[in-house]
């Protein structure tokens, strides 16, 4: 986390604040309610944003955070209550009128045109002109400057579809920075960023605060909230629980306020693996991405994979799961499995949960049933699908994985991130794999649902299945795994077990500064 000390509103450089007086309120929600048909999702919620402050909005998935943010940004209208902009009542006729008033939102779901370049996205709708012609050179240079502020060195001429997920997020942020907003609403902006990228973003938020911008910041990473926020508001089930100063509001207290119960044991007890090896990879190479990777996985084990973004963790696991061509040897239960064949991997009992559940894991426009049974359709008939059997399977999945949806026919894209991830896990387990690879299991998921996912993973191992967990969150991989394999620059840098495991040891291996600890994985 960035080392710079959080500014308080009274320190905001361009906001003159008299001693003992609060900065002016820029945007306020007064007893805001919102109803979708018969379902009320916000119940008289108060919320305010002051000039030159960061106000964090936290709560479990489904607490109403996204609905409140969309109302503040003009994407939704309130069913009750009112908005005030600089102490005057205001009604937005869509998000464009909110943007015209200086209120911008960075969405958790990217709001980018995939076929356009980074520069074209940054200036979409407000293109620079020279006379009647577009000034491409000016837009390119300004886009490059905005991305440089974020230490993002991607060529602004690159199309969005050709970028990594973190770089897409940086383009989204750069677009907002370029509009010089009075109010900036940030919905999970760090969910797909590395630790270093997160530090850079938090530095930019500090800069915006010092310039007098009011920032609404949401994150499931409570250490970030504690670090960056001046005030914190907690929502639970659409109700306002509390608003208080962030100073002295610890992560445990935040988590307990969010879920309404103690979370003393976030991670379950680690299962004890059996001695037999179920998977062995030897000298696996993915051209240009991974070289000579070797490791073993035991029955009933949770094996962690850690390392910096770009280390080759995902690419190695995609090769193991048959999604990438590779060289080397892969054996499952002593039998050779060819690379580059998803069918062969599944036949061997391998399953892979992608880190990108929205683009690669789920059909967002389809319902729960269609998504759940997709990998195991042969179990529900060949010439004709047995819908009744599918519904029974969905009943069981909803109960077993605690999938919460107001309507089981609703499009999966409308579910919270946590419920989408639980559905993806249920979908994968319906095929009854013996080895499960889970890439970033709790990205963008609230603390309460994280605890559920961790319990699911531990239960899989206790039932005799073997699990590989790839995670960029060090406490997560440490809390879950029996052993941790650390990758760096496409190689396996080392393996840590027992008392060797610590955040410091993982980072040293990942950065290549612990050669004396390096072992053959």
The Cα–Cα gap between 439 and 165 comes to 14
Comparing C-alpha atoms, which of 196, 194, 148 is closest to residue 174?
Answer: 148
Residue 141's SS3 state is: helix
| pLDDT tens sequence for the chain (521 residues) | 444 444 443 333 333 344 456 789 999 999 999 998 877 889 999 999 999 999 999 988 778 898 999 999 999 999 999 999 999 999 999 988 998 899 999 876 667 888 899 999 999 888 889 888 999 999 999 999 988 887 788 899 999 888 877 788 788 888 887 877 899 999 888 877 777 778 888 888 888 898 899 999 998 888 899 999 999 999 998 999 999 999 999 988 898 898 876 666 789 999 999 999 999 999 999 999 999 999 999 999 999 999 987 799 999 999 999 999 999 999 999 999 999 999 999 999 999 998 878 777 788 899 999 999 988 888 888 778 899 999 999 999 999 999 988 788 889 988 888 889 899 999 999 989 999 999 999 887 877 888 899 999 999 999 999 999 999 888 899 999 989 999 998 999 999 998 999 988 998 898 887 444 444 44
The sign of the dihedral angle between the CA atoms of 57, 61, 66, 68 is negative
The Cα–Cα gap between 39 and 67 comes to 13
Q: Which domains does the chain have, with CATH numbers?
A: 1-15+26-102+181-264 (3.40.50.300), 115-179 (no CATH), 274-349+433-447+464-513 (3.40.50.300), 358-432 (no CATH)
For the range 122-131, what are the long-range contacts, defined as Cβ-Cβ under 8 Å and sequence gap of 24 or more? 122/146, 122/156, 122/171, 122/174, 122/175, 122/178, 123/178, 124/175, 126/179
Phi/psi of residue 464, nearest 5 degrees: 100, -5
The Cα–Cα gap between 283 and 455 comes to 33
The shares of helix, strand and coil residues in the chain, as percent rounded to the nearest 5, are 35, 25, 40
Residues 6+ apart with CB under 8 A from 48: 25, 27, 28, 29, 55
Q: Which residues pair with 54 in a beta bridge?
A: 215
The Cα–Cα gap between 511 and 506 comes to 9
| Whether pTM exceeds 0.75 | no
The Cα–Cα gap between 6 and 315 comes to 37
Comparing C-alpha atoms, which of 355, 7, 45, 65 is closest to residue 219?
Answer: 65
The Cα–Cα gap between 304 and 300 comes to 13
């Amino acid at each position: 986390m960035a080392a710079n000390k959080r500014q308080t509103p009274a320190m905001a450089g361009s906001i003159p604040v008299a001693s003992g007086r609060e900065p002016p309120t820029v945007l306020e929600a007064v007893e805001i309610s919102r109803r979708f048909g018969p379902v009320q999702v916000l119940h008289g919620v108060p919320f305010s944003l002051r000039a030159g402050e960061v106000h964090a909005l936290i709560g479990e998935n489904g607490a109403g955070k996204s609905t409140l943010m969309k109302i503040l940004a003009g994407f939704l209208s309130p069913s009750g209550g009112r908005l005030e902009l600089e102490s005057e009542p205001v009604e937005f006729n869509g998000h464009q009128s909110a943007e015209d008033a200086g209120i911008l939102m960075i969405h958790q779901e990217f709001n980018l045109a995939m076929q356009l370049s980074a520069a074209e996205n940054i200036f979409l709708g407000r293109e620079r002109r020279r006379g009647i012609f577009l000034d491409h050179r000016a837009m390119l240079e300004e886009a490059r400057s905005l991305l440089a502020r974020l230490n993002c060195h991607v060529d602004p001429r690159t199309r969005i579809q050709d970028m990594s997920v973190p770089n897409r997020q940086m383009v989204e942020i750069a677009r907002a920075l370029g509009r010089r907003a009075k109010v900036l609403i940030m919905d999970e902006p760090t969910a797909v960023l590395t630790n270093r990228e997160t530090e850079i973003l938090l530095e930019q938020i500090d800069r915006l605060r010092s310039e007098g911008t009011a920032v609404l910041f949401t994150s499931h990473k409570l250490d970030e909230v504690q670090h960056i926020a001046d005030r914190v508001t907690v929502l639970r089930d659409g109700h306002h629980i509390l608003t208080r100063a962030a100073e002295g509001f610890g992560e445990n207290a935040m988590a307990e306020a969010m879920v309404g119960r103690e979370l003393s044991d976030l991670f379950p007890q680690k299962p004890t693996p059996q001695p037999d090896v179920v998977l062995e990879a030897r000298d696996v190479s993915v051209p240009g991405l991974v070289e000579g990777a070797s490791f073993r996985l035991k029955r009933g084990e949770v094996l962690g994979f850690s390392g910096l973004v770009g280390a080759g963790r995902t690419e190695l696991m995609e090769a193991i799961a048959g999604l990438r061509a590779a060289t080397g040897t892969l054996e499952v239960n002593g039998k050779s499995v060819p690379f580059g064949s998803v069918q062969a991997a599944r036949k061997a009992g391998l399953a892979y949960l992608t880190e990108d559940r929205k683009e690669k894991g789920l059909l967002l426009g389809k319902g729960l049933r269609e998504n759940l049974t997709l990998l195991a359709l042969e179990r529900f008939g060949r010439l004709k699908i047995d819908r009744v059997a599918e519904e029974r399977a969905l009943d069981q999945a909803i109960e077993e994985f605690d999938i919460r949806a107001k309507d089981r026919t609703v499009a999966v894209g409308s579910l919270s991130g946590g419920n989408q991830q639980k559905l993806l896990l249920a979908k994968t387990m319906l095929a009854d794999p013996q080895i499960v690879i889970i890439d970033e299991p709790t990205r963008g998921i609230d603390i309460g649902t994280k605890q559920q996912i961790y319990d699911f993973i531990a239960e899989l191992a206790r039932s005799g299945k073997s699990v590989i967990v790839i995670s960029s969150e060090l406490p997560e991989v440490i809390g879950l795994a029996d052993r941790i394999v650390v990758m760096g620059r496409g190689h396996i840098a080392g393996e840590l077990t027992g008392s060797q495991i610590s955040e410091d040891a993982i980072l040293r291996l990942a950065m290549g500064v612990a050669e004396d600890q390096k072992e053959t994985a």
